[in-house]
Amino acid sequence: MLSRWPRRLSEYNFRQGDGTSFSNVIERPARSKTLAPLPDDFANRGWFARLTASVLAGTAKLISGASARWIDCQPDTCQRVYFANHTSHLDAVVIWAALPPEVRSLARPVAAADYWEKNAIRRYLAHQVFNALLIDRLKVKVHQSPVDLMLRAIGDRYSLIVFPEGGRTSGEELGEFKSGLYYLSKKRPELELVPVHIDNVNRVLPRGEVLPVPLLSCITFGPPIYLEHREPKAEFLRRARDAVLRLKEM
């Protein structure tokens, strides 16, 4: 039995079927048949979008005073799912900004379509700057479940920033995790699931406020977890939640 899932795609030997390889343990899931991979427009975005991205990242870091801590985890361009507690509007931007530039350009925050599709500026920011994956919360189609959309959106290149609690919590208590994270790693078990703990950002910009107060916040990235073979959903989700909670104490 493997002590851990293979971490990189290159480590992950799909073809080998001689019984010793882990290809027997992990069945490579077929990509969703209903959704073909998208052409990658984001990689060829213009200089203005790139400039906006670095200016926004700098501003976000300045306002939130965010310092990034990496505990048993290093910034890497491999495919990852960053999952974090959700306390403020700024969360996704702050995590995105805390990543080093080359990692940042590969990380796609998952966000609500009804908010980010509202006007041209938000659309531009979502598509050209953050490269956000917009999920329409109002009409979830049968063949386009959010998990399928996420899988298509990351292809074999991008990472995701998700908030598995579903909605924002008050910032004190970490809510129960929704099951998306489980289905995501069931289909792509080689993805590194990186727990992220966000501290104090809810005081920088609490719910319902527009103007931020420049306090100091802290973003902690923890050691990746993986879905174990045949691990029950509830157990996995509890483990993922604990992984985020543990970072709070460190």
Partner 1 sequence: MPPSTLAIAMIIPDTKTYLLVGSVLAVLAAATAVGQVLKRRLDAGLNPAIVEQFHLRVRTWWLMCTVLAAAFIVGREITVVLFGLISFWSLREFITLTPTRPGDHRALFWVFFVITPLQYVLVGLEEYSLYSILIPVFGFLFITARVSFSGDPKRFLERTAKIMAGLMICVYCLSFAPALLSLPPKGKPIDENARLLFFFVLVVQFADIAHYLWGKLLGKRLIAPEVSAGRTWEGFLGGIASATLFGTVLWWSVPLTAWQAACLSALTATAGMAGGMTMSAIKRDRGVKDYGTLVVGHGGVLDRIDSICFAAPVFYYAVRVMLDQWPTG
Whole-angstrom distance, CA of residue 31 vs CA of residue 34: 9
Residues 6+ apart with CB under 8 A from 148: 32, 34, 35
> Which stretch, 72-80, 161-169, 198-206, 227-235, contacts partner 1 (CB under 8 A)?
198-206
Asked if 117 and 123 touch (Cβ cutoff 8 Å), the reply is yes
Q: Which of 32, 206, 231, 246 binds partner 1 (CB under 8 A)?
A: 206
- Work out whether 38 is an interface residue with partner 1 (CB under 8 A): no
Q: Residue holding tokens 């670095």?
A: 54
Per-residue binder mask for partner 1 (CB under 8 A), 153-192, x = binder: ----------------------------------------
Q: Is 111 in the site for partner 1 (CB under 8 A)?
A: no
Q: Taking the complex as a whole, how short is the minimal distance between the CB of residue 68 and partner 1, in angstroms?
A: 8
Instruction: Name the maximum alpha-carbon separation found in the chain.
Output: 60
* Residue 22 DSSP SS3: coil
Number of residues that bind partner 1 (CB under 8 A): 17
Q: How far is the CB of 19 from partner 1 (least distance, A)?
A: 47
User: Which residue in the set 215, 233, 234, 242 belongs to the binding site for partner 1 (CB under 8 A)?
Assistant: 215
Q: How far is CA 80 from CA 139, 188, 190, 209, 224, in A?
A: 27, 10, 9, 31, 9
Q: How many CA atoms lie within 13 A of 171 on its CB side?
A: 16
CB-nearer residue toward partner 1: 45 or 69: 69
**Least distance in Å: CB of 215 to partner 1?**
5
Instruction: List strand residue ranges (DSSP E) for the chain, in order.
Output: 67-70, 80-84, 107-112, 133-135, 159-162, 192-199, 218-221
| 211 lines the binding site for partner 1 (CB under 8 A) | yes
- Interface residue with partner 1 among 153, 218, 243, 247 (CB under 8 A) is 218
Q: Is residue 216 involved in binding partner 1 (CB under 8 A)?
A: yes
Instruction: Tell whether the torsion through CA atoms of 226, 148, 153 and 240 is positive or negative.
Output: negative
Should residue 213 be labelled a site residue for partner 1 when binding is judged by CB under 8 A? yes
Does residue 69 touch partner 1 according to CB under 8 A? yes
- Residue 173 CA to residue 245 CA, distance in Å, equals 10
**Only segment of 36-44, 153-161, 211-219, 227-235 that touches partner 1 (CB under 8 A):** 211-219
Q: How far is CA 23 from the centre of its chain?
A: 26
Residues forming contacts to partner 1 in the complex (CB under 8 A) are 65, 67-69, 200, 203, 206-207, 209, 211-218
